[in-house]
Amino acid sequence: MKTRKGPQPQARTNTPGQRNAPAAPNVYRPQPVPRVLQTKTKNAAQALAKPARSVASPASSKDTKSSVQLKASTSRVVQAMKIYPNLHPGAVEPVNRENIFRLNSFSNQYRLHQVNSHGVNVPNQQYNFVRTREGEMLLHARYRHPSIAQGKQVLYAGEIFFNNGQLEWWSNGSGHYQPDAEDAKQANLPLDQFFSYQQIIKGEHKRKKG
């Protein structure tokens, strides 16, 4: 039985000096993205581009506000107070602390209370005074300021004069602490009866203000 043969492919023959031409590469043709995928991709891109909004809880917001107020109030207290050191440490002398008075006032009347005693005195002369860092007003008629304050730092120091329990005038006259007149409010005494040390020397405290 004879098998019928079809036409045989002809073999390509190259002529001498002729090279085979390289086959052209397949061209990449991108496939269109389905609409469903386009919508999801667009939404995801928008979500990434949108900045995240931080939501603070009411408690954390309240805590932050309280801390800011506390810092502000603390800074005001620190800036308002000035501490004065004793400029002459060698001037501190041992004294009897029971002879030092604490100053108290009520209804424009001033009284002196002895330290570690219940005795009360009506001031009627000139005293040296210091206001300690703890806020105590300590006085004595003869003791120098460093001895009254035991050589410690003070808020203010000066001289004060009373007439039968009423305050006549006071000043920043203290060569050992030399407080500034601008800080007179730290003495916690009436400012309308304050005179600087220079005014005391000129005798202005003996004239009525205004």
Q: Domains of the chain: which residue ranges? A: 89-202
**Radius of gyration of the chain, Cα coordinates, nearest whole angstrom:** 47
Q: pLDDT at residue 20 above 60? A: no
- pLDDT tens profile 71-89: 443 334 445 689 999 999 9
161: left (phi over 0), alpha (psi -120 to 50) or beta: beta
- pLDDT tens profile 25-51: 565 566 665 555 555 555 655 655 555
pTM (2 d.p.): 0.61
- pLDDT tens profile 99-115: 999 999 988 899 999 87
Q: pLDDT at residue 5 above 80? A: no
Separation CA 76–CA 73 (nearest Å): 5
Sign of the Cα torsion 87, 93, 98, 101 reads negative
Q: pLDDT at residue 1 above 70? A: no
Separation CA 201–CA 171 (nearest Å): 11
- In this prediction, residue 67 has a pLDDT band, given cuts at 50, 70 and 90, of very low
Structure tokens, 108: 């424009």
